[in-house]
Structures are given as C-alpha cells and as structure tokens.
Amino acid sequence: MSRKNRRPLADRVAEAAGAALAAQHYVSAIDVLVRMGWLDPGAVKLWRLGRVPCLERVVQSNLPRISEAMKAFRSWATAKGLFPSETHYIARTSQRQTLRFSQNGDPTIERPYRTHWVSKVLSERKRERLAEKASKAPELVVILPWNSDWTCHRCGNGGGMLIMENAGPACLR
C-alpha cells in the first residue's frame, strides 16, 4: 500500500483507542499499539515477565512514529474528556521491578505510556477500583517440577518448588 493510500495515523489511533474504550471503559497505550498491529500480544507477555528490557524495543515501528502515535492518543483522550490515571506496571518476577516502556527510561516519556485513560461514565469509586486493580502487582507462578533434578541459579541448591526467572530456575528461599 502506498503512503498516499494509507489512512492518517491519528485516525488509526482514534479507531484503536475507541474500540478499547468501548470494550473495557478505559484505554492504555498498550491497548492502542496492540489494536493497531504495532505490538504483538506475545511480546507484551514477555515484557510483563521481565524478559524484554523495554516495551519500545518490541513495537513494530520506529521511535518518531511511536512518538507521533502517542501524541495523537493523548490528544484523542483529552478531546473525549477521559480521566487520566497513572498506572504502575510491575514485572511478574520475584524482584517485582518496575517495567520500562522507553529505551532510556526518561520519566517524561514513561508517564504517557503508564497513563490509562478512564471513561467518564464510570463512577469515582469504580475509577478508583480500576486504578487499584491495574497497579496491583501480578501473582507469581510457582512450579512444582516433574523432575526434581534442577539447580537454582542464585544459590546452587535445587529440588522442591521453583520460580522461573530470566537467568533460569530459582528456589523459593
């Protein structure tokens, strides 16, 4: 498809954001990027597991284009009168580190990614519960392996239950 035939980016952002808002009464940058086809849901899962250093690295577009889409998203959300709600993204790892969106981690770049835009049809209490739920650290998955012959990458012991980390299996001690 030639560039002349392509729909304007702001229209594509608005369509993706509108669909997410209709489905869940809030919309995030991740929702928009996934619905536009720039971000694979599998890559988001790896990022949430702490296996991808920053989300921008797996977005299928260049940084200037991503920045343009983020500006269009903020403009759309503001024009719709949505309430901004900053959300803390925590990795699904035992360290519970804050997930990074941008390559350099600059707070002025991170904040728009972390902001969920909430529908004005929700009551104040529902908006608060939604913000609490979104900021809650994810549950960790503990594994009872079939084979107890494994070694913890931290302490060198093994056996029993484990949790998977980037460096390999880790014991619960």
Reading the chain (173 residues) residue by residue, the pLDDT tens digits are 555 557 899 999 999 999 999 999 899 999 999 999 999 999 999 998 888 999 999 999 999 999 999 999 999 999 999 999 888 888 877 777 889 999 889 999 999 999 999 988 766 777 677 666 666 655 667 778 787 788 888 788 877 777 777 677 878 77
Distance of CA 103 to the CA centre of its chain: 14
pTM of the shown model? 0.75
Degrees (nearest 5) of the Cα angle 92, 97, 98?
100
CA gap 16, 19 in Å, rounded:
5
- Distance, CA of 170 to CA of 66 (rounded, Å): 36
Residue 51 corresponds to which tokens in the numbers above?
A: 């296996």
Burial state string for 28-49 with b = 16 or more CB within 10 A and e = fewer than 16: bbbbbbbbbebbeeebbeebbb
